[in-house]
Structure 1
Amino acid sequence: GYRSIVKLISQGVTDAEVLVKELHGRTINRHGRETLVKALTGVVSETDIDIIKQLVEEIELQQRHKDEAQEKMTALCMEWFPQEVENLQTIPGVKERSATSIIAEIGTDMTHFQTPKKLVSWVGLRPRNEESAGKIKARGITHGNRFVRKTMIECSWGAARMKESFFAEFSYRQCIERRKNKMKVQVAIARKILVAVWYVLSQGTQYIKPTDHYTAAHMTAV
């Protein structure tokens, strides 16, 4: 895709015919091959190549450091909290990287958060409804741990795409049937996943799919 093109340009490749081969078929069909070839022809100078090369090297270095840090964190979590890592991954949308990030930020002892609501509030995913004299001033979410919040949002996108999961059905009901804002729905899913995280860690158990009664009661709440 586009990253492959940037990588080739950083290596000094400027032939539009070569570069366009790196694009996805959908992109070529959408814009037309001729248009893309023209867009990639004669637009990169030697100076541009040098700058792009330096930027690519910086990005690759940062990614390498990030991957090394993740490997260390995963190794530590697997040494000290193997069961918790496994249990967290039973929650739809939560993979190994997310599980280790959650443990690194909030730990595994949920006695620090007496209830799921306290954890949700600490992370900054609690919905707020600021109202004064009958006028709504804000309906966003609260401030909190942005690292966990980011991880939860990433998990919510994955969970919403998992077939036959509560979160996928919730997303469909809210976005398609009720036409709710997509991002607000993802925040709501992230909040529900975080509640599941609290129960999984506090009870030392795997994720249990909500019952039909729970699903009916929570399917319309955002």
Structure 2
Amino acid sequence: MGYLEETIEELEKQIDQLLSPYRKEVELLDGIPGVNKAAAATFIAEMGVDMHVFKSAKHLASWAGVSPGNYESAGKKTSKTTQGNKALKTMAVECVLATSRQNNRIASHRKSITKRQGKMKGRIASAHLLLT
């Protein structure tokens, strides 16, 4: 246990050193409900800080894999999310779930979608909102 704890501390120090040029971005991301320092580090690592790479917020959400698609055939409606960056998608959903007991825009959005369409669609729709 001691070895694992030391290894974790060393990794956290390395992450802090690598994030030192991005302190301003980490503070801005930390201001979003549900996003903590670890989530901010994941967002910066996966997306980067230059958002000019993405044409719009919708392109970012699609690249992350939280952009739902709709398909209807023979009166049956189905929807799927796009395949995207798994680490970014997972962290966005975790951030959404972290807001479940809070009273903010993301939590209320997830609750309203969940009532109508179910848990998973509510989570993905709120992750889309968080990223955009």
TM-score, normalized by the shorter chain, greater than 0.5: yes
* 1:188 partner letter: A
Asked if residue 188 in structure 1 is aligned to residue 125 in structure 2, the reply is yes
1:167 to partner: Cα distance: 1.5
Whose relative contact order is higher, 1 or 2, with alpha carbons under 8 Å and at least 6 apart? 2
Asked if residue 128 in structure 1 is aligned to residue 75 in structure 2, the reply is no
Corresponding residue of 1:93: 34
Corresponding residue of 2:43: 102
Are the structure 2 counterparts of residues 185 and 132 from structure 1 closer, same or farther at C-alpha, using a change threshold of 3 Å?
A: same
Does structure 1 conserve the Cα–Cα contact (< 8 Å) formed by 2:111 and 2:122? no
1:74 to partner: Cα distance: 2.7
* 2:32 partner letter: I
C-alpha separation in 2, matches of 1:98 and 1:143: 20
| Per-residue CA distance 1:43-69 (angstroms, 9 max, x = gap) | xxxxxxxxxxxxxx7xx84x7655543
Corresponding residue of 1:170: 109
Instruction: Please report the RMSD computed on the Cα atoms of aligned residues, expressed in angstroms.
Output: 2.2
Asked if residue 72 in structure 1 is aligned to residue 14 in structure 2, the reply is yes
* 1:103 partner letter: I
Gaps of 5+ in 2: none
Asked if residue 140 in structure 1 is aligned to residue 74 in structure 2, the reply is no
1:94 to partner: Cα distance: 0.4
- Count of matched residue positions in the alignment of Structure 1 and Structure 2: 131
- With the length of structure 2 as denominator, give the TM-score of the two structures: 0.85
Does structure 2 conserve the Cα–Cα contact (< 8 Å) formed by 1:156 and 1:190? yes
Corresponding residue of 1:160: 100
Does structure 1 conserve the Cα–Cα contact (< 8 Å) formed by 2:113 and 2:121? no
C-alpha separation in 1, matches of 2:126 and 2:91: 12
Gaps of 5+ in 1: 1-56, 196-222
Larger Rg: 1
- With the length of structure 1 as denominator, give the TM-score of the two structures: 0.53
C-alpha separation in 1, matches of 2:6 and 2:42: 17
1:112 to partner: Cα distance: 0.5
